[in-house]
Amino acid sequence: MNFRDASKSSWSSRNWTPTVEEINCGNLQRIADATELMAKRYEELIQKAEFEERRANRYASRLETEQRRTAALRGVIGRMKRQRSATKI
């Protein structure tokens, strides 16, 4: 049994009773494991947030391009209508 597992156990009727230092060592190892897991999850969360931000920026850029294109085409259509009405007269 390692210190990490030993620090989780109840010691009422066991043959081998760990010392306080051994239990504290196991506790510290478990805390370190939990901290590493939290850091890993945090890094994943940061990566997802950065990805979503890049994606949102990319779509905003595409939207702006399409809005400019639409405005330009409306202008072309307006000029064509004015030319057509001017030639009919």
Say whether pTM exceeds 0.85: no
Per domain, the residue ranges of the chain are: 3-88
Look at residue 10 and tell me whether its pLDDT is greater than 60: no
Nearest to 61 by CA among 69, 73, 51: 69
First vs last Cα of the chain: how many Å apart? 100
DSSP for residue 17? -
- Structure token digits, residue 88: 């009919």
CB 4 within 8 A of CB 30: yes
Mean pLDDT of 32-50: 94
- Angle in degrees, CA 53, 55, 61, rounded to 5: 105
Return the structure tokens found at 22: 């051994």
- Tell whether the torsion through CA atoms of 37, 38, 39 and 41 is positive or negative: positive
Write down the pLDDT at residue 19: 79
Mean of pLDDT values over 12-33: 77
| Predicted pLDDT at 69 | 98
